[in-house]
Amino acid sequence: MDTGGNSLPSGPDGVKRKVSYFYDPEVGNYYYGQGHPMKPHRIRMTHALLAHYGLLQNMQVYKPLPARERDLCRFHADDYVNFLRSITPETQQDQLRQLKRFNVGEDCPVFDGLFSFCQTYAGGSVGGAVKLNHNICDIAINWAGGLHHAKKCEASGFCYVNDIVLAILELLKQHQRVLYVDIDIHHGDGVEEAFYTSDRVMTVSFHKFGDYFPGTGDIRDIGYSKGKYYSLNVPLDDGIDDESYHFLFKPIIGKVMEVFKPGAVVLQCGADSLSGDRLGCFNLSIKGHAECVKFMRSFNVPLLLLGGGGYTIRNVARCWCYETGVALGTEVDDQLPQHEYYEYFGPDYTLHVAPSNMENKNTRQLLEEIRNNLLDNLSKLQHAPSVQFQERPPDTELPEADEDQDDADERWDPDSDMEVDEKRPIPSRVKREAIEPERKDSEAPKGTAEQARGFDNMATNETLITKSVDVRPMAIDEPTVKVEQETSNKASDPIYPKS
């Protein structure tokens, strides 16, 4: 039985969920540059798999509206957003001081369409949060999002705008508590920092810790002030496998859900924690990675699924395709369908890839110590914090018109760059990315939003310090995307580690 909205009864995980999926057909055209491991093309490859597996027909598919400058400034500093808007490859040599100030130029290069790219992936994440807030769906997906390293005033780790923070701020309009879970191999430092003093957002990050980017995420980092014990860090070593990962993930997240009782969950599904990732050192299988998605789904809480890292792009596409199936409650065939990127997946042409025989440096004793330590921290949270909404800012409104056209033939995009296999019993063009109608919101009075949401006011003016955030309403504008054409899809680039 297909039940919509957020009113799902608790029960078996096989219950169908209503899923909203955000995808911009041009996202794969953005190009970080020759040799850079971050390739937005992986999002297009993922979408191609979803189309040829027939999964798009089971979801509401939306083209996200790009986030406006003022929306990005709900978290990011005005001068930083202005810089991202104005910088181009042609002008960057004239702004060397600004490049250094905002940490742009090396790991985070300037490329054509940079600001449009930021607007697009942020718009998808915020759009997903809006759908959840309005009970349009039970699960929202934006594989282009999940860029968890971006800070209030600087880029970091291939991330320019922190779409996750913006999405969480949107969810906080409707939910007293939001849980953020991060299974990327890198620590979710930007999100943790943004909510470090808040008891309304709990952040839980499972990551490689040691001599590894970004170098943060010690188990002793637990939050500060009102946010004490609301940050959980799970430091892991090389070679962790499915069994060891779940030995920590399931009891810790199970306890978090019991104690914190979130109204919504954001799960960052970075695929660089998979075995064989170009920049990673974990040994998770795709099914092991997806088991975390399945576990979060089983709680029947509004769920936002985001992308993140992942640099062996054929495996990223495999993983996020499979996890879309998990969200839908659909088991997809291991044999890949013929499609335009089929040659990427040779020689076996299967969805799943066997983990390697690398050594697991995470001993059972170490895992037990980590688990006991974190469960002890959670025991210090006596009950879920209550937040009094005295003057809650207005919700972001959705128009009443249905985004999906009635005529099925009109839901197919004639401008798509994909040719669907004629052997499959679906039309010869992928499902149309229905453009989400413009959302409207009202500005809340200054100071009201912070008070209503229980954040610590760490500054006296509108610009808060990096460990506190502004939670006024957000809105999205009409899309105007100008991008660079992909110049290399399959180049064997040199290793480009995060530094």
**Bridge partners, 140 (sequence order):** 20, 304
Token pair listed for 52: 């040829």
Q: What is the pTM of this model?
A: 0.80
- How many CB atoms are located within 10 Å of the residue 489 CB? 14
| 268, 188 contact by CB (below 8 A) | yes
The response to whether 107 counts as a known ligand-binding position is: yes
Q: Give the pLDDT confidence score for residue 326 in this predicted structure.
A: 98
Question: What are the structural domains, with CATH classification, of the chain?
Answer: 19-354 (3.40.800.20)
Q: Give the pLDDT confidence score for residue 13 in this predicted structure.
A: 59
pLDDT below 50 — which residues of the chain? 1-11, 389-391, 399-497, 499
Token pair listed for 100: 């250094």
Phi then psi for residue 338, to 5 deg, are -65, 135
Q: Is 149 annotated in the active site?
A: yes
Helix (H, G, I), strand (E, B) or coil at 303: strand
Angle, helices 114-133 vs 78-86, to 10°: value is: 130
- How many CB atoms are located within 10 Å of the residue 498 CB? 18
- Nearest CA to 62 among 495, 491, 476, 499? 476
Burial 175-198, CB ≥16 within 10 A → b, else e:
bbbbbbbbbbbbbbbbbbbbbbbb
Strands 264-268 and 178-182: parallel
Helix (H, G, I), strand (E, B) or coil at 435: strand
The response to whether 160 counts as a known ligand-binding position is: no
The response to whether 186 counts as a known ligand-binding position is: yes
**Bridge partners, 232 (sequence order):** 204
Helix (H, G, I), strand (E, B) or coil at 231: strand
| 172, 200 contact by CB (below 8 A) | yes
The response to whether 272 counts as a known ligand-binding position is: yes
Given the residues 36, 52, 149, 289, the one annotated as active site: 149
Contacts of 277 (CB under 8 A, 6+ apart): 185, 271, 309, 310, 311, 312, 315
Burial 304-320, CB ≥16 within 10 A → b, else e:
bbbbbbbbbbbbbbbbb
For the chain, helix, strand, coil in percent to 5 are 30, 10, 55
H/E element, 127:
helix 114-133
The response to whether 245 counts as a known ligand-binding position is: no
- Average pLDDT of the chain is 82
Helix (H, G, I), strand (E, B) or coil at 284: strand
Sign of the dihedral through C-alpha 64, 192, 379, 450: negative
| 418, 430 contact by CB (below 8 A) | yes
225-278 pLDDT per residue, tens: 999 999 999 999 999 999 999 999 999 999 999 999 999 999 999 999 999 999
**Bridge partners, 207 (sequence order):** 235
DSSP 315-356: HHHHHHHHHHHHHHT-PPPSBPPP-TTGGGGTTT-BS-----
| 108, 162 contact by CB (below 8 A) | no
Contacts 24+ apart (CB under 8 A), 108-113: 108/155, 108/156, 108/157, 108/158, 108/159, 108/160, 109/32, 109/33, 109/36, 111/30, 111/31, 111/32, 111/33, 111/484, 112/31, 112/88, 112/483, 112/484, 113/29, 113/30, 113/481, 113/482, 113/483, 113/484
Helix (H, G, I), strand (E, B) or coil at 491: coil
Q: Give the pLDDT confidence score for residue 15 in this predicted structure.
A: 72
